[in-house]
Amino acid sequence: MTLPQGWEEAPLFTYLELVSSGVKHFQGTKKYIDTGSLETGRIRDGVDVDYATRASRANMEVEEGDVLFAKMKDTEKVYLISKDDVDHLYSTGFAILRIKDKSKLLPKYIYFWLRTTDFQRLKNNESTGATQKAINETKLKNFKITVPPIKTQEKIIALLEKAEQIKNWRKEADLLSENFLSSVFLSLFGRDVNHYDKWPVLTIRELAKKEKNSMRTGPFGSNLLHSEFVESGIAVLGIDNVVENKFTWKKRRFITPQKYETLKTYRIYPRDLLISIMATIGRSAVVPDDIPLTINTKHLAAISLDENLANPYFISYCFQSHPFVLEQIRQKSIGAIMSGLNLSIIKEIKIKLPPIQLQNRFEKLVRHFYEISANQNKSRDEAENLFNAFSQKAFKGELV
């Protein structure tokens, strides 16, 4: 690769050093940041620890301007330490880079460089380990970084900050969108609306179709043998398909058509209501009209509703947002180790039922919103692609 005049490609530790583990004795408590407490650009949370009883991995200290990243393979978590972060402890699951020669490198330049697909791909390729693969210091010594003049680094930083701001605006719009439907739902069906007290109360069992298997869970648990899965065939749904409170295809799992023939009573149909009954309990989604031949796991309740009485989109939002239903779920959650529901409990959940015409109007609003969301998703992908494209070109000297 030919670099612009004044640029150099240097071994990573020419102008940087890897911070060693070790914590000076301290009184009281400090906040401990592990890899689960941080995402790129943001510390989400942390736990208070004292010196004597802290976890063995809570053994890294930092300085302002350090840049850290998660060592684990397939994990992009990068963070630039500010003056507000220096009193925390950090996990040895992070590699922490410190600039040795500040006339050569800027911290924010390192922050953006660590986020490039080139660095992340190389990190993944060089990660080793029997269980959790991760990059180590020996491998990092072989990494090289492009080092432009400081003025050029400042231009690159300014460019990528603008590209990142576009991404952040998109995230903020997405968050507002996620809250919009719940707000509309409560304005239409909450306790303060007219005639709420006159609406009848019916159970899910009473709202389901009066036919065999209208309410069912699947045959497979989380320990489904890998030998049961094949590369293609009949899809098997799981909690991951409803975890966003709308139907999304996540991890694809398949069984053979022959296996399906023995399990077809567990089939999922268009407009079925899906409710998670383990782990993230109460998450719900409506099965799309174009669903292929599919069955579900035992951690999902599938309900075929009598749509003369209940609209699946309305019932789904009852499980997501309505205090009347959420309080029932909270009270009925069971399990000594992990709270959860079961199909018997789901059947007896009570719904305050408005007229079907009002429920159907809500579905039209939801469907229109999903159309808008699809365009938002395209916009989000475009913002992500723009940032990545700028990032790749910037660090090769092709933009400034």
Give the pLDDT confidence of 273-282 residue by residue, as tens digits: 999 887 667 8
Residue 84 lies in a domain: yes
Does residue 131 or residue 172 have the better pLDDT? 131
Is a pLDDT exceeding 70 seen at residue 230?
yes
Residue 126 lies in a domain: yes
Does residue 257 or residue 385 have the better pLDDT? 257
Based on the domain organization, do 349 and 391 belong to the same domain?
no
Distance, in Å, from the CA atom of 148 to the CA atom of 4, rounded to the nearest integer, reads 8
Distance, in Å, from the CA atom of 69 to the CA atom of 304, rounded to the nearest integer, reads 47
Sheet hosting strand 273-276, strand order edge to edge: 215-216, 300-303, 273-276, 284-286
Residue 133 lies in a domain: yes
Angle subtended at Cα 291 by Cα 341 and Cα 180, rounded to the nearest 5 degrees = 65
Based on the domain organization, do 170 and 307 belong to the same domain?
no
Please, are residues 314 and 359 in contact by the beta-carbon 8 Å criterion? yes
Residues 190-207 have a mean pLDDT of 92
Is a pLDDT exceeding 80 seen at residue 250?
no
Q: How confident is the model at residue 299 (pLDDT cuts 50, 70, 90)?
A: confident
Q: What pLDDT, on the 0 to 100 scale, is given for residue 337?
A: 43
Distance, in Å, from the CA atom of 319 to the CA atom of 316, rounded to the nearest integer, reads 5
Q: Of 308, 238, 296, 231, whose CA–CA distance to 269 is shortest?
A: 296
Give the pLDDT confidence of 151-186 residue by residue, as tens digits: 999 999 998 998 888 777 766 666 666 678 888 899
Is a pLDDT exceeding 60 seen at residue 226?
no
Cα dist. 61→16, 64, 138, 235 in Å? 16, 10, 21, 47
Among candidate residues 353, 372, 392, the one where a domain is terminated: 353
Based on the domain organization, do 17 and 112 belong to the same domain?
yes
Mean pLDDT of all residues belonging to the chain:
88
Based on the domain organization, do 207 and 324 belong to the same domain?
yes
Q: How confident is the model at residue 222 (pLDDT cuts 50, 70, 90)?
A: very low
Q: Tell me, what CATH number does 256's domain have?
A: 3.90.220.20
Is a pLDDT exceeding 90 seen at residue 49?
yes
Based on the domain organization, do 253 and 116 belong to the same domain?
no
Please, are residues 242 and 284 in contact by the beta-carbon 8 Å criterion? yes
Distance, in Å, from the CA atom of 282 to the CA atom of 341, rounded to the nearest integer, reads 8
Is a pLDDT exceeding 80 seen at residue 375?
no
Q: What pLDDT, on the 0 to 100 scale, is given for residue 110?
A: 98
Based on the domain organization, do 323 and 389 belong to the same domain?
no
Take residue 177 and report the two structure tokens written for it. Answer: 């969108």
Based on the domain organization, do 205 and 340 belong to the same domain?
yes
Lowest mean pLDDT among 29-38, 69-78, 212-221: 212-221
Q: How confident is the model at residue 400 (pLDDT cuts 50, 70, 90)?
A: low
**Percentage of the chain surpassing pLDDT 70?**
90
For the chain, what is the largest distance between any 2 Cα atoms, rounded to a whole number of angstroms? 78
Does residue 120 or residue 389 have the better pLDDT? 120
Q: What pLDDT, on the 0 to 100 scale, is given for residue 29?
A: 96
Based on the domain organization, do 367 and 338 belong to the same domain?
no
Q: What pLDDT, on the 0 to 100 scale, is given for residue 336?
A: 39
Based on the domain organization, do 349 and 249 belong to the same domain?
yes
Does residue 177 or residue 247 have the better pLDDT? 247
What's the total number of domains in the chain?
Answer: 3
**Percentage of the chain surpassing pLDDT 90?**
58
Q: What pLDDT, on the 0 to 100 scale, is given for residue 176?
A: 65
Residue 335 lies in a domain: yes
Q: Of 83, 97, 181, whose CA–CA distance to 135 is shortest?
A: 97
Cα dist. 109→104, 158, 249, 303 in Å? 11, 10, 36, 52
Backbone angles phi, psi at 351, to 5 degrees: -120, 130
Give the pLDDT confidence of 107-118 residue by residue, as tens digits: 999 999 999 999
Residue 339 lies in a domain: yes
Based on the domain organization, do 17 and 141 belong to the same domain?
yes
- Print the domain residue range for 299: 200-353
Q: What is the SS3 assignment for 378?
A: helix
Q: What is the DSSP string of 313-339?
A: HHHHHHHHH-HHHHHHHHHH-B-SSS-
Among candidate residues 337, 353, 369, the one where a domain is terminated: 353
Q: What pLDDT, on the 0 to 100 scale, is given for residue 333?
A: 73
Beta strands 94-99 and 67-70: pairing type?
A: antiparallel
Q: What is the DSSP string of 55-102?
A: -TTEEE---TT-EEEE-BTT---EEE--TTSTTSEEETTEEEEEES-T
Based on the domain organization, do 17 and 105 belong to the same domain?
yes
Lowest mean pLDDT among 296-300, 326-330, 363-367: 296-300
Residue 195 lies in a domain: no
Please, are residues 391 and 160 in contact by the beta-carbon 8 Å criterion? yes
Q: How confident is the model at residue 297 (pLDDT cuts 50, 70, 90)?
A: confident
Residue 3 lies in a domain: no
Based on the domain organization, do 249 and 328 belong to the same domain?
yes
Q: Of 253, 297, 246, whose CA–CA distance to 273 is shortest?
A: 246
Q: What is the DSSP string of 172-233?
A: HHHHHHHHHHHHHHHHHHSTTSTTGGGS-EEEHHHHB-SSTTSEE--SB-TT--GGG--SSS
Residue 186 lies in a domain: no
Residue where the block lists tokens 């942390």: 46
Please state the length of the chain: 400
Cβ-proximal residues to 358 (8 Å cutoff; 6+ apart), any chain: 188, 189
Q: Which residues pair with 95 in a beta bridge?
A: 69
Q: How confident is the model at residue 52 (pLDDT cuts 50, 70, 90)?
A: very high
Q: Of 62, 45, 65, whose CA–CA distance to 109 is shortest?
A: 65
Distance, in Å, from the CA atom of 381 to the CA atom of 385, rounded to the nearest integer, reads 6
